[in-house]
């Protein structure tokens, strides 16, 4: 894409898009360009429809990924090239919604109990009690913990927004008594790498018989958006 890629990146950076979103949009534009083997500014409605249909029917890409491709294409043509985008001619694909799998309190207690590494267990407890997202808990620092006000400051969460969430008394007491140097690390990035997926099938006491990911460890009451 060359200069067009630079223009698109600049437009996204000016709008304060997250690095993850910028990377995803640029990747999708490169894939779109490679598919037709010509510059995207030479293409339009016809190619966009063909490409989205190709992703759905031939590649069998998930709806969520098709939606990302759609957003990338729309941003390029509307915000980078300043072309009109007629929604009725290029409709956004409908995404099916599924109910999330949420562990019961008993299963969570078993999961916390069998996590031998204290720091790993405390990170899991923090994730659950504070209702944090994966990217949020991975970037927590000691300065984000306010034990006086019993709050945790979440910086640059979803939508690049800052917010506060609750610091539970049980979590604070556990940190102080069981692992006083829990927050010594500047961040938890390295420790968090081991927590992206936990297989409860390796733990007979949990009795779940299914793969459990960190997103499953979520409180019944969601945190504020």
- Domain locations along the chain: 3-80, 105-216
Q: Strands 163-166, 197-199: parallel, antiparallel or unpaired by DSSP? A: unpaired
201, pLDDT greater than 90: no
Note the pTM of the prediction, 2 decimals.
0.60
Q: Which residue has the higher pLDDT, 207 or 71?
A: 71
pLDDT at position 69? 95
Return the beta strands (E) in 26-148 as ranges. 145-146
Among residues 128, 138, 201, the alpha carbon closest in space to that of 167 is found at 128
Identify the helix (H) or strand (E) that includes residue 211: strand 211-213
CATH architecture of 3-80: Orthogonal Bundle (1.10)
Distance CA 113, CA 108 (A): 8
Give pLDDT tens digits for 152-198.
Answer: 888 766 666 788 888 888 777 766 665 545 544 444 444 444 444 44
What are 59-112's pLDDT values in tens digits? 999 888 999 999 999 999 999 999 988 877 888 887 667 776 677 778 777 777
- The yes/no answer on whether domain 105-216 falls in CATH 1.10.443.10 is yes
Establish whether domains 3-80 and 105-216 are of one fold.
no
Residues β-bridged to residue 163: 154
Q: Give the H or E element holding residue 154.
A: strand 151-154
- Residue 169 sits at φ, ψ, to 5 deg, of -65, -40
């Amino acid at each position: 894409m060359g200069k067009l890629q630079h223009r698109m990146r600049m437009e996204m950076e000016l709008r304060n898009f997250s690095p993850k979103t910028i990377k995803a949009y640029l990747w999708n534009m490169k894939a779109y360009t490679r598919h037709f083997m010509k510059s995207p500014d030479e293409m339009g409605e016809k190619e966009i429809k063909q490409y989205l249909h190709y992703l759905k029917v031939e590649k069998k890409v998930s709806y969520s990924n098709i939606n990302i491709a759609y957003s990338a294409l729309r941003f390029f043509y509307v915000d980078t090239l300043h072309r009109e985008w007629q929604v009725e001619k290029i409709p956004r694909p409908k995404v099916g919604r599924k109910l999330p799998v949420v562990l019961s309190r008993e299963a969570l207690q078993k999961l916390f109990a069998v996590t031998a590494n204290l720091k790993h267990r405390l990170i899991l407890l923090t994730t659950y009690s504070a209702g944090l997202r994966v990217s949020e808990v991975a970037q927590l620092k000691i300065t984000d913990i306010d034990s006086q006000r019993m709050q945790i400051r979440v910086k640059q969460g979803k939508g690049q927004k800052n917010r506060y969430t609750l610091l539970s008394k049980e979590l604070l007491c556990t940190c102080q008594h069981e692992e006083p140097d829990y927050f010594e690390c500047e961040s938890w990035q390295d420790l968090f790498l081991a927590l992206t997926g936990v297989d409860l099938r390796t733990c007979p006491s949990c009795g779940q018989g299914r793969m459990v990911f960190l997103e499953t460890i979520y409180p019944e009451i969601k945190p504020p958006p």
